[in-house]
Chain A
């Protein structure tokens, strides 16, 4: 197809509407997995050549096509308002050009994928960088990276688009029906959301990388009303980089009655009160705490001040590596962009750095941080750990967390039941609830989705009004039990916000069951 066939205009208005050179069509014309034969290679070379001609010392162009699709059933009514994106079905495609000129970044993006537009946007990104040089006080320094020509994709057993809408609705409707049968339930929403991300990255350093990622996130929430109190309970399903198999393996239907009954019980559950308790946390709850007070403070861009105006800085300092005790000897944390299923698992990051797995905490001690090409030099490293990501073609890439996991205990570690049996005065917490953390990730207050009293080794009754307060290092110092790998599970979030303009990331966080001794509970309600 020739370029002139691509371009059409609408009527006499002069609004340029570009036809058939859509990323999707170009994808169809390009042999998958043969990146050097792709139509995007030629378009990329156009941008890279133009950037070089304009005097840029670095350039990359990233084409993406994102398809968000979701369906939800609320009180037997099919709705769209749920998902990775704004809800419903959304197709978004375009490209972004990033350059370094005069030692400063410039970025511009557009949904119109034509040669003329690529030239224009490349020039605009360059102009932005040149204009910015007036207010630079330091220059961008990129860690070196090998050039790759590669294709990488998430392994998928069943593509979500291959499952009929009828089947999806029917499944979600069954969850509605089952939940609404439970006395006291006033509302239920069941949902499934799918995110397909295709991207082609080309850099002025010789990389041409094509990747395809599918993410799937199902779940349901039941709301009950009893004695004038309304409470909701959400069934935690781990969202994953994978296909429809995530829905099929989630055992949602099997758990509806239990979850609905727990929502009802929660309405009349007694408050936990205020005091020091031992917390036993399921992986579905621990993921949030890991995300907020382990993963965020170990982002190097935060540590060196890049996020001071919004997301914040960190209590961790550059000089803390190798010294700071973040937790007890049982506390081992690993960053991982390679583990199958992790929502941040990719072949390469958006700098073109090959994905990796690396420790950041070992036996309680901070040993490393999350880095990308732009920030690695701040801690004297000569290679990036590969943490650059942009939500879509429209957004500029910057440092985002990978999957961050707490490692399971060694062989012989207690089972979840054994941890409970060994707890005299505690609270079992499952699922996500209210959470709020200071801008340096040191003081956090967390809730959960459901809570049970543990008395003398027995899980007794549900409790309400549970929040706990965590001073990060003290909190993890009080970690005194981790279950083994048999009960290790990876949950995650589809809405990790950071940056200005805000971008969304989808990290996974794996954890064993953990116990944290003597933590202040209930202060929010005192």
Chain B
């Protein structure tokens, strides 16, 4: 059972009343996190986690400290508040501490906890596993997957009267099919789904099984520069690699790809990417239905980060905005993220490719050089060679070294947007609307026979 707005308000009021500091903020996070895992076509873990926590931040002038507890009884709260107040008093002033965000804030209102997701229980998840693994068995593959479900509340309040509350429920279905001979592997999934009826486990299982069967016994092809077609999952991971560069402070301090030529300058207003790269935070997007609450409780507003390749906005946190005499952005770049898509299907992208690779999944991406956004990673779970408009063979996986700063100047086709998680794991909000993308001159560095 999720916590209602009134229940949370009672808790945050209670904490704020107990605090004796000059000012205080309370953040609540809690609810049910459940998950079902399966491997080798059999369920391996099915669990329900209940949790709740309050993070209490107190201020004495410019001194501040925070502490978190998962127990809300009077004694625990008193103990936590006493401890955090003692901590704050003993700390030196923090010159970057900003005043509390003041009410009223105009948060966009929409329902993010639909009944189908709220009521998505372990038995329904187990049946979904059964439906999936039955298909796996018929298709002669082994299924390994994950079905996470959140029914969660994020809330906050401060002693200046601000109160925020966001209740959401969502689920994902993520599946890897492998062939028994261990030479083929395929991935399919959908993430951050607010209406469970939009999870088609059988369709996804067939996609993953197809990929596994078609990727058997891959052949090695030479490393080098390839045209790549990234399906939405690798596209979402790749997109995430440039989000950190949108931080204005890093840029102005000379530590980022978005830094200008001189320290203090940025690339704001410059055309950094290609005409077909547009990236926005679209608060209230009806598919994503993600939190409308921005940094420190500011009302999040829609922001265009990149428009037709031009850097339109960088993220100014409240302190840096004040220092630089700018408006705080409020919306962080990972919120309700939407990348503009196109109309090309993956099949059409394949047909228009003379020689290239179809990529099903990216794995273990890590930064190599922050200043250039150079990253490295691997392909995984289905990599296919395209020649003259057709898939001609499965190929062994590649390690790549590439920068989205280069690639997003080399987008030659985009598909329709779909919801897909941008993070490596799927446990936190992070789903964005991302299209499949075709990128030219993508650098594959070495081969890995790993399947």
Contacts and interface: CB of A to CB of B under 8 A. Distances in A.
A306 B39 contact: yes
Given A92-B53, A312-B363, A8 B133 contact: no
Given A78-B92, A434-B367, A467-B368, A92 B70 contact: yes
Given A305-B142, A308-B39, A128 B46 contact: yes
Q: Which of B122, B365, B367 has the most CB of A within 10 A?
A: B122
Q: Which of B7, B69, B70, B142 has the most CB of A within 10 A?
A: B70
A273 interface: no
B352 interface: no
Given A20-B73, A111-B71, A138-B42, A131 B10 contact: no
B371 A229 contact: yes
A523 B224 CA distance: 11
B135 interface: no
Nearest to B423: A502
Contacts of B23: none
Contacts of B84: 89
Given A88-B67, A440-B450, A502 B425 contact: yes
A304 B122 contact: no
A112 B72 CA distance: 10
Q: Give the size category of B's interface with A.
A: 35 or more
A500 B47 contact: no
Contacts of B409: none
Contacts of B426: 500
Interface in B117-152: 121-123, 126-127, 129-130, 133, 142, 144-146, 148
A311 to B, nearest CB: 10
A134 B263 contact: no
A526 B96 CA distance: 41
A447 B366 CA distance: 10
Nearest to B450: A440
Interface string A294-316: 00000000001111111011010
Contact of B76 (A22, A121, A138): A22
Interface string B363-397: 11111111100101110100000000000000001
B46 A22 contact: no
B425 A442 contact: no
Contacts of B42: 135-138
Contacts of A80: 65-66
Interface of A: 8, 10-11, 13-15, 17-20, 22, 25, 77-80, 86, 88-94, 104-112, 121, 124-125, 127-129, 131-138, 165-166, 169, 173, 186-187, 223, 225, 228-230, 304-310, 312-313, 315, 394-396, 398, 434-443, 445, 447, 465, 467, 469, 497, 500-502, 523-526
Which 9 A/B pairs are nearest by Cβ-Cβ distance? A19-B73, A443-B448, A440-B450, A308-B144, A137-B42, A131-B123, A107-B47, A90-B68, A135-B130
23 contacts: A8-B74, A18-B73, A77-B96, A78-B92, A88-B68, A107-B46, A131-B126, A132-B36, A135-B129, A137-B41, A225-B255, A230-B370, A305-B144, A308-B178, A312-B363, A312-B450, A313-B178, A442-B448, A500-B37, A500-B148, A523-B401, A524-B376, A525-B369
Given A22-B71, A440-B451, A523-B445, 16 more contacts: A15-B10, A19-B73, A80-B65, A91-B69, A91-B70, A109-B49, A128-B48, A132-B126, A132-B129, A135-B38, A169-B91, A434-B367, A436-B378, A447-B368, A500-B37, A501-B35
